[in-house]
Amino acid sequence: MLQILQVTFPFFALVACGYLAARARMLPLDAIGGLNTFVLFFALPCMLYRFGASTPIAQLLDPWALLVYLPCALVMVAGAVAFSLNARIRWNDAAFGALVAAFPNTGFMGVPLLVALLGAAAAGPAILTILIDLVITTSLCIALSRLDTAGQHGAAAAARRALRGVAANPMPWSIALGALSSLTGFRPLQPVGATIAMLADAASPVALFTIGAVLARSQLLGAAQEHGPLPARDFVPMAVAKLVVHPLLVFAAGSLARAVGVPLDPFALVVMTLVAALPSASNVSLLAERFAADTGRVARIILVTTAAAFLTFSAAVALLR
């Protein structure tokens, strides 16, 4: 366990540094958007391209991994929405609460962390889960969030808007280009490859620092919107679902699939289970702001899962390695 904590500690320490820098206003809140832009549009795509280009195409497009992970994501969304809906929490807030319960922080944190723990082979299954969560899970939750105003705009229009957002996100395209390079054996010219490598190397530390800063910013904005203390029942169950129910569900589904003869790679199942054990994706707070959801609740869930995951994720690694 100590050996695992030695690997995971720097990742969570960088998140804490970003959080404290933003809370202390050492990092101006207005600057966080610039950090997020650098990570999302420059550094992270280069990192994902590099991992994709160096990963066998069969691992990036594993249909059996897709068969296991996608239904689990859909079950998480359905369960979280059904649990959350009440007189106070309507479709908009329930949908984004479900998204933080089902969408791990795989891009900013998971890929580099899992590669550090398990080796380069972990990149393939982890990248596949990013595509599923970006294209399907996120689009579904955004569509559900519009059901409160179905007569004005409609869930179908929201789903189309979500898909347009996915198309504008560079992460799926960088993964696709990496997969194409893996398939064809293409390698960029040396100066271009060196530039990609420099940006890829910057992705992990800057992304982790940015996670902390985004969490602090979301918490501050959410606190300004709250009209009283947020009840624990509004965010603790979603945090538990993310860190405990999600990985157990993926592991159980994968184990059942293997038991009935599905040729799912056991290593891929371990990677997907650990992906599910990651804290909630920090970019959900930005989506919640854009769609006028309860950012205080969303930020609280992300913050709790990120803080608790230092122990829960490390424990999951110790059990599965």
Per-residue model confidence (pLDDT) at position 159: 64
Averaged pLDDT, 180-208:
92
Query: Residue 158: which pLDDT band, with cuts at 50, 70 and 90?
Result: low
pLDDT tops 60 at residue 180 = yes
Query: Exposed, middle or buried by CB within 10 Å (0-12, 13-18, 19+), for 148?
Result: middle
Range of the domain at 301: 2-320
Query: Residue 27: which pLDDT band, with cuts at 50, 70 and 90?
Result: very high
Round to whole Å and give the CA distance between 90 and 65. 33
> What are the φ/ψ torsions at residue 104 (nearest 5 degrees)?
-75, 160
Query: Residue 181: which pLDDT band, with cuts at 50, 70 and 90?
Result: very high
66: nearest Cα among 146, 156, 132: 132
CATH number at residue 205: 1.20.1530.20
The pTM score is 0.89
pLDDT tens per residue across span 271-321: 999 999 999 998 888 888 888 888 888 889 999 999 999 999 999 999 997
Query: Residue 229: which pLDDT band, with cuts at 50, 70 and 90?
Result: low
Per the structure block, which two tokens stand in for 265? Answer: 């790679």
Consecutive H or E run containing 216:
helix 190-225
Extract the runs of DSSP E, i.e. beta strands, from 48-164. Answer: none
pLDDT tops 80 at residue 228 = no
Query: Residue 124: which pLDDT band, with cuts at 50, 70 and 90?
Result: very high
CA distances for 178 relative to 14, 65, 206, 252, angstroms: 27, 19, 21, 31
129: nearest Cα among 100, 164, 105: 105
Report the percentage of the chain scoring pLDDT > 90.
Answer: 62
277: nearest Cα among 319, 236, 237, 235: 319
Round to whole Å and give the CA distance between 72 and 289. 26
Query: Residue 143: which pLDDT band, with cuts at 50, 70 and 90?
Result: confident
Round to whole Å and give the CA distance between 193 and 210. 25
pLDDT tops 70 at residue 153 = no
Averaged pLDDT, 183-199:
92
Number of domains in the chain: 1
Averaged pLDDT, 137-164:
73
Which DSSP string do the residues of 28-43 spell out, in sequence order? -HHHHHHHHHHIIIII
pLDDT tops 60 at residue 97 = yes
SS3 104: strand
Per-residue model confidence (pLDDT) at position 154: 58
